[in-house]
Amino acid sequence: MDELNKRISSLSPAKRALLELRLKESGARLTTETITPRADRGPAPASFSQQRLWFLQQLDLSESPYNVPRAMRLTGPLDLAALRRALAEIAQRHDVLRTHFVNVDGLLQQIVTSDDIPLTVIDLSNLPPFERKSQTEQLVTAEATRPFDLAHGPVMRTSLLRLGEQEHVLLLTSHHIVSDAWSAEILFRELGALYDAFEKGSPSPLTPLPIQYADFATWQREWLQGAVLEEQLAYWKKQLAGVNDVLTLPTDHPRPPVQTFRGSYKSLTLPGTLSEQITEISLHHGVTKFMTLLAAFAVLLARYTGQEDIVVGSPIAGRNRQEIEQLIGFFLNTLVLRTDLSGNPSFSELLRRVREVALEAYAHQELPFEKLVEELQPERNLRYPPLFQVMFSSHAQAQTNFGLRGLKLEHLRTESNTSKFDLSLFVSEETDVRADGLDRRSVVCTAEYNTDLFDEATIERLSRQ
């Protein structure tokens, strides 16, 4: 900690301020509070986030908007025994991957089992090339969309498609109730380290985890009470007072009587010059790229809706305690960001407003969105989600070659054909490390939309604008 503080102190004031902004955006706020293991290793309460996801799944067990599918093509000589052992070790290391969820007297409990996560191997190598490709695509899509039974498990599935002697596709699918984007990085990193060790006949190189997810959930329930809860709620009640229930985006089709999750997506890559201009204007106004992009998105939504009060949701990592940094689990929280465009502000003024709102939200990020909804009790309507219907997310994503010893690995896009909201805009700054050692950066914008509301042409036009 002392060394970190020395490094931060050595930065220029501008760079130090920008670093602090980025830390707040990611939820990486340092804290000295310690979460300790539970004395009782029996059933534990679900976290607030888990409880809401469980409730949403009960509304329609036939849909799977909260599946988290990942697919990787493996090329080279695969050690199947080492892969099986690595996946089994990860399942034993992270209790949350062996957890079932049961409603006991109105309280959702998470129960850790001794279950293993078997690796299912499907051999497609004898099929003709065209049929093998078609079957692979169908299986990848089917696995990504197959619902989970949270009461009986498993909450994570692993499959291996054998396409040839040295070509495989590994499918890792979990329910969002036990995983988030940060968890994926942990999963890939540990899988690489364990496979490398087991393939060489060495023991696991990973150090024991200080706590498990159930310890965090128990601590969260006990901590978020009294003065802590009241302080968090006071801000959000004031910030969201009088907020519009619905952002009235013009849709191509009438809104169904019950929210659906059928979706699709459109992606585009911003020109390099535009990406550079975004960086320049952010530095000039002392804001992060996230804030600049959010302000621009708010302007676009205001043009489409005719509203001056623009409310969107935005995910934040929620990994602000050292004990949970290396845990697989659902720590992601959602902040409700309200942008005021009244008075026809200049873009400079709008950036100032967005910066102020964002920093205040980061300072009050401890309140789970699920608890916020429970306390505010907005008018509930099955036609749309509460508080916001549009999501905005912006993050940097480094495209690194995470390794499995002796294998070339390629991440494949999985098609879940779902959309959790009316519209979500995901902006990622991707970095490819090229063979010549130079980095190539690009900004990719992906619009995920509900196909029961919008036609593809509408979203394509919105994306270009």
Contact between residue 142 and residue 179 where contact means Cβ atoms under 8 Å apart = no
Both 268 and 123 in one domain: the answer is: no
Last residue of one domain, picked from the residues 199, 229, 260: 199
User: Is residue 11 in a domain?
Assistant: no
User: Is residue 136 in a domain?
Assistant: yes
User: Is residue 273 in a domain?
Assistant: yes
pLDDT reported for residue 276: 87
Last residue of one domain, picked from the residues 142, 174, 199: 199
Both 263 and 408 in one domain: the answer is: yes
User: Is residue 223 in a domain?
Assistant: no
User: Is residue 227 in a domain?
Assistant: no
User: Is residue 458 in a domain?
Assistant: yes
Both 118 and 259 in one domain: the answer is: no
Which CATH number does the domain housing residue 404 bear? 3.30.559.30
Q: How far apart are CA 60 and CA 459, in angstroms?
A: 26
pLDDT reported for residue 432: 57
CB-based burial label for 307 (10 Å; 0-12, 13-18, 19+): middle
Contact between residue 357 and residue 24 where contact means Cβ atoms under 8 Å apart = no
Both 431 and 312 in one domain: the answer is: yes
pLDDT reported for residue 446: 92
pLDDT reported for residue 217: 96
Last residue of one domain, picked from the residues 199, 227, 252: 199
The domain tally of the chain equals: 2
Both 107 and 185 in one domain: the answer is: yes
Residue ranges making up the domain that contains 395: 237-464
User: Is residue 87 in a domain?
Assistant: yes
Both 113 and 160 in one domain: the answer is: yes
pLDDT reported for residue 263: 92
Q: Which stretches of the chain drop beneath a pLDDT of 70? A: 1-33, 60-63, 396-402, 415-416, 431-440
Which CATH number does the domain housing residue 61 bear? 3.30.559.10
Both 276 and 422 in one domain: the answer is: yes
Both 241 and 193 in one domain: the answer is: no
Both 82 and 163 in one domain: the answer is: yes
pLDDT reported for residue 182: 92
User: Is residue 229 in a domain?
Assistant: no
Beta strand pairing call for 423-433 and 390-399: parallel
> Any residues with CB less than 8 A from the CB of 128 and at least 6 apart, and which?
none
Both 362 and 295 in one domain: the answer is: yes
Both 458 and 347 in one domain: the answer is: yes
Question: What one-letter code names the amino acid at 396?
Answer: A
Both 157 and 262 in one domain: the answer is: no
